[in-house]
Amino acid sequence: MTSQRVSALLLVLLAACGTPQDKASPGTVEIDQALLQTFQPLPDVMSTEANPITEAKVSLGRMLYYDTRFSSSGDVSCYVCHPLHDYGTSHRRTGVGHDGIMGGRNEPTVFNAAGQVAQFWDGRAPDVEAQALGPVLNPVEMGMADPTSVVKILDGIPGYVDAFSAAFPGDASPVTFENMGRAIGAFERGLVTPSRWDAFLTGDAAALTDAEKAGFSEFAATGCNQCHFGTYVGGSFYQKAGLVHPWYDTADPGRQTVTKSADDFMVFKVPSLRNVEETWPYFHDGSVQRLQDAVRLMAWHQLGKKLTPSQVESITTWLRTLTGPVPFEYVNEPTLPPSADGGGAAAAGN
């Protein structure tokens, strides 16, 4: 593991542990229970009948997630853009693909993503199984020529041939591009980070401080909960950026690139606010670094409201309760199967 990744790991551990003054007490502030009706705690896994989760499938998906051999330059993997030890984001303004090519949008975190309405900012992939395959063939990201070239690499790695057979025992030819997506998707469906907010929703009144409860009430009073609600505090539908006051940059047409409809100009998937404290920079273009600035801008552009500094700080205080600890054991770097020539057996990223 690199020193940079070790540093990130230590920072996350410290954040998860907190300090004595961070500990909540029952307090006296109450939240209107009616406001909580549209929020639900995270599931243990984000399952789907279309892709049943098995241990063999998850194990294979974890290896594929870390493997750089499925990029044209041999140095890009899912992990490179979505480092799991740092909340699934590289903190760059936009993604960087093979040969250092810059992408056009900010990289959404993969944590808690599988339960959302669709994937990517423009919703062009219906689920994480489809999303996992998009970057592999994207000329800006991993840059592989076609699915056949990917399968050829897989077939040349005996360990992967065995792993695909174990993960998809009912398939006559288990090593397929589609099954690659299913395996990565199965792994990503376990990337769940329950937080103190979930403990509160399930009945632990002491899970939040009075300041945090007041922050949620401010969040709702401002109207943020009109778009950011549900299990993932967002991620359930699409909305126009600049709903009330025009967005400050309209270079990216958003979902219009998918639907070709003028009605979808500057429309994007409402992002989940889970782990929002740790997944900067913000917005589809990664143009904002500070969470407080993101809150202020969203209130103005989406709701037409100018928040005071104290209102912004109150809302931000609650948003931090959505940060859950990274499941380090689940996301640990695997040992990758060696190529037929003996290469590629080292732990990923080393």
Catalytic residue numbers read: 141
**216: number of Cβ within 10 Å:** 26
Q: Coil, helix or strand for 263?
A: helix
Per-residue tokens: 337: 């199967």
- Which run of H or E residues covers position 78? helix 78-81
Tokens 């002491």 -> residue: 206
Instruction: Give the Cα-Cα-Cα angle 89, 92, 10 (nearest 5 degrees).
Output: 50
3-state SS, one letter per residue, for 125-189: ECCHHHHHHHHHHCCCCCCCCCHHHHHHHHHCCHHHHHHHHHHCCCCCCCCCHHHHHHHHHHHHC
Cβ contact 40:194 at 8 Å: no
Strand pairing report for 238-240 and 267-269: antiparallel
C-alpha to C-alpha distance for 78 and 67, rounded to whole angstroms: 8
